[in-house]
Amino acid sequence: MQDIATTILVCGGGIAGTVAAIAAARAGAGTLLVERWGFLGGSATAAAVGQFVGWETGSGRQVVHGIAEEIVARLVARGAADGHGHFVMSTGHRMDRVNYDPEALKLLLDEMAAEAGVRVLFHAGLMAVAAARRTIEAVTMLTKAGPLRILPRIVVDASGDLDLLARAGAAFLPLDPSESLQPATLMFRFGPIDFAAFEAIPPAERAALAREGVARGMLARAALHASRMPGTDDAWFNIGRVAVDATDPFALSAAEMEGRRQAFRAAAFLRALVPGCAAGRLVALAPQLGIRETRRVRGLYVLTAEDLRAGTMFEDAIAIGAYPIDIHPAQGAGLHFQTLGEDHAYAIPYRALVPDALDNALVAGRGISATHEAHAATRVMPLAMAIGQAAGTAAAMAAAGNLPPALVPAAALQTRLRAARAHLPG
Ligand SMILES: Cc1cc2nc3c(=O)[nH]c(=O)nc-3n(C[C@H](O)[C@H](O)[C@H](O)COP(=O)(O)OP(=O)(O)OC[C@H]3O[C@@H](n4cnc5c(N)ncnc54)[C@H](O)[C@@H]3O)c2cc1C
C-alpha cells in the first residue's frame, strides 16, 4: 500500500471541509482534502440545496463574512448567484438568502482550493482509521488505485456524518428519547416556471395548496419551497422528506429510492395544480439525497439551544450565527421553527469543534458538538463555512505550534480569523 504524509488531512469536501482546507492552506499548512465524489461542495452541490440561508439577524445585520462572503462575491461576479436577498418561508417568516447555481459552485470551489494550494483527492472513500493513545495515526482511503494510507499530523473530519471520527473511537452525542434525526430530502430541479405567476400566489393560497398536496399523498412536506437557479426559469425544490439514519447503508439506499419516488410525485403535483408550473417538468434530480443530521461529536463544550437563545458570546467564539432553530420533524409534514429575536445573534465556541476523545482532531460543519436543537440552527451553510474557516485555521496553528488543537490559544485564533475578515464578537 502507498503511504503519503500530510500536515493537515481534511476528510470530506463539503462546503465546511472545502473552506477548512482553503483556510489551512492559506495559513501555510500542507493540506490534503479527500472526497468520495468527483467534485466539492457536499450538500451544497451533491444535494443541490441551491440557497445559502442564515447570514443576517432578523433586523438585517450580517454576521457571517470571511471566506463564505468571498464565495458569494465570486459567484455573483460570474452571474452564478443572485446576491443577498430575502424570501418569505412557508412558516410566514422573512428569511435572508443567496440563491446560487450548484454547478458553478463546483467549479469555483475547485479554483479556490487550487489557488490556496490544497491538494485534492477525489473518488476516495474512507476505508480504515488507525488510532492509539487518543491520536489518529493513519487514515486509509479506498481509491481507484486501491487503498492509500495517509499519515496526517492533524485531522479535520468534515464528512458531515463524522465517519472518520467514528472509526477513530470518538464519542458522539445521543438524541433525547423525545428527539429524532431530522429527515433527508432529495432536491429536484423543475422548470420552466412562470415566476411572475408562481411568486404571486398569496401566502394563504400557497399554504392551502401545499396542504392539498400532502392530503393527496403527492407532497411529503407541506411547503412549496423553491430556490431559483440564477439566470434560468428553473428552481430547485425542497419539498420531500424521508426519515432515515444515513449512517446505515441499507437504510440510506432505500431512502434514495424513496426520495426519487417523492420527487416525481411532487413534480406531477406542481405541474397539475400550482400556478406558474403548468409548463414545467422535472429536469434533474440532485446527485444524492440531502442529509440534514447524523452524528454530532461530543466536544470539549456542548452548544445548547439555551446558549443560542441567551446569545452567549463565548470567550473562545470562532463564528457568529443568527439562523433560527429549524427542525424538520421526522414524522409529519410541518416544521418546528423558532426565531430567536429581531437583532439576535449567538456565538460558536472553539471548544465545540474539538472532540473530547482525541488529541489531533477537529470537526468542521454540521457535526460539531451541539445538541439536536442547537444543531438545527448551526447546520446552515453560511455558518458551516464560518466554522470550516475556523477549523482549518486552528488546524494550521496547531501544526505550526506542535500543539494539540485543544491547546491552540483562542485569542490568537480570533486574531487570525479577524485578519481573514471573519466576523467575531467585539
Ligand atoms: C435537503 C437540505 C436542505 C437544506 N437547506 C438549506 C438551505 O436552504 N440553506 C442552507 O444554508 N443550508 C441548508 N441545509 C443545510 C446545509 O446544506 C448542510 O447542513 C451543510 O451543507 C453541511 O455541510 P458540511 O460540509 O458540514 O457537510 P456535507 O455537506 O454533508 O459534506 C460532507 C462531505 O463529506 C463527504 N463524505 C462523507 N462521507 C465520506 C466518506 N466516508 N469518505 C469520503 N468522503 C465522505 C461527502 O461526499 C461530502 O462532500 C440543507 C440541508 C439539506 C440536507
Contact (CB, 8 A) for 6 and 151? yes
| Burial class of residue 213 in the structure, from the number of CB atoms within 10 Å of its CB (0-12 exposed, 13-18 middle, 19+ buried) | buried
Ordered structural domains, the chain, with CATH: 2-177+293-419 (3.50.50.60), 188-285 (no CATH)
Residue 418 reports pLDDT greater than 90: yes
- 197 and 276 Cβ atoms separated by less than 8 Å: yes
Ligand 1 contact, 255 CB (< 6 A): no
Cα 402 to ligand 1 centre (Å): 31
pLDDT at 426: 78
Q: For position 1, what pLDDT does the model report?
A: 80
Mutate to test the pocket of ligand 1, among 49, 75, 294, 323 (most ligand atoms within 8 A of CB): 49
253-305 pLDDT, tens digit per residue, is 999 999 999 999 999 999 999 999 999 999 999 999 999 999 999 999 999 99
Residue of 381, 385, 387, 389 to mutate, ligand 1, most atoms within 8 A of C-beta: 381
What residue's CA is closest to ligand 1, atom 30?
A: 160
pLDDT over 90 (residue 332): no
Q: Please give the average per-residue pLDDT across 196-212, as a whole number.
A: 95
Q: What is the pLDDT of residue 255?
A: 98
Instruction: Supply the pLDDT for residue 8.
Output: 98
Whether ligand 1 lies within 6 angstroms of the CB of 33 is answered as no
Cell reading at 217: 399523498
pLDDT at 89 over 90: no
Amino acid 126: pLDDT:
98
Q: What is the mean pLDDT of residues 320-335?
A: 90
pLDDT, mean over the chain: 97
Cα separations in angstroms, 231 against 103, 201, 331: 13, 22, 36
What is the band of 72 on the pLDDT scale with cuts at 50, 70, 90?
A: very high
- In 3D space, the residue among 106, 148, 105 whose CA is nearest the CA of residue 123 turns out to be 148
**Which residue do the cell numbers 475578515 mark?**
421
pLDDT tens by residue, 20-65: 999 999 999 999 999 999 999 999 999 999 999 999 999 999 999 9
The pLDDT, as a whole number, for residue 90 is: 75
CA distance 277 to 279: 6
If residue 189 lies in a helix (H) or strand (E), which one and from where to where?
Answer: strand 188-191
For ligand 1, atom 14, the nearest C-alpha belongs to: 380
Substitution candidate for ligand 1 out of 43, 109, 262, 294 with most atoms within 8 A of CB: 43
For residue 91, pLDDT beyond 80? no
What is the pLDDT, as a whole number, of residue 335?
83
pLDDT at 93 over 90: no
Can you read off the three cell numbers belonging to residue 91?
A: 412558516
Q: What's the CA-to-centroid distance between 290 and ligand 1, angstroms?
A: 7
Ligand 1 midpoint to CA 403 (Å): 29
For residue 277, the CA-to-ligand 1 centroid distance in Å is 28
Is the pLDDT higher at 174 or at 330? Answer: 174
* Cell 453560511 found at: 382
Residue 382 CA, ligand 1 centroid: distance in Å = 12
> Please, which pLDDT band fits residue 377 given cuts at 50, 70 and 90?
very high
Q: Is 290 in the pocket of ligand 1 (CB under 6 A)?
A: yes
List C-alpha distances in Å: 78 to 59, 66, 71, 82, 394. Answer: 29, 19, 11, 10, 31
Query: Quick one: pLDDT at residue 113?
Result: 99
Whether 3 contacts 372, CB under 8 Å: no
- Is the separation of the CB atoms in 354 and 403 below 8 Å? no
pLDDT digits over 149-170, tens only? 999 999 999 999 999 999 999 9
